[in-house]
Amino acid sequence: KAGVTQTPRYLIKTRGQQVTLSCSPISGHRSVSWYQQTPGQGLQFLFEYFSETQRNKGNFPGRFSGRQFSNSRSEMNVSTLELGDSALYLCASSLGHSGNTIYFGEGSWLTVV
């Protein structure tokens, strides 16, 4: 059974640009959540989608957005990139019900220059 797949694995963007990251959850999983990891702030929750609806949201500015498609695949977008957005972005999936184990992908490394 394939795990959580994230693309691209590495990318470099310029300040002011926007970026879209993609995530394919484990087959059968309906919940997808996104996390940001930086050396200074550690792992922080961005948002969670379930059945194409945002169900939870962390404390991030509106430049960070996401969506989920009918096949449960998800994308997150960051607009007007800032240097501080350089981070490892992690996608995680689960069946989506209370207490289901959450499994992570390998992440997308974003560098903003």
Partner 1 sequence: DAKTTQPTSMDCAEGRAANLPCNHSTISGNEYVYWYRQIHSQGPQYIIHGLKNNETNEMASLIITEDRKSSTLILPHATLRDTAVYYCIVRVRNGGSQGNLIFGKGTKLSVKP
The contact set with partner 1 (CB under 8 A) reads 4, 31, 33, 35, 42-45, 48, 50, 55-56, 58, 88, 90, 92, 94, 96-107, 109
* DSSP structural state of residue 76: E
Q: How near is the Cβ of 90 to partner 1 at its closest, in Å?
A: 5
The residue (of 56 and 80) whose beta carbon lies closer to partner 1 is: 56
The residue (of 11 and 102) whose beta carbon lies closer to partner 1 is: 102
Q: Which helix (H) or strand (E) holds 94?
A: strand 87-94
Cα distance between residue 26 and residue 28, in whole Å: 6
Cα distance between residue 5 and residue 41, in whole Å: 24
The residue (of 11 and 88) whose beta carbon lies closer to partner 1 is: 88
Overall size of the chain counted in residues: 113
Query: Do 36 and 21 form a contact (C-beta atoms < 8 A)?
Result: no
Q: How near is the Cβ of 9 to partner 1 at its closest, in Å?
A: 10
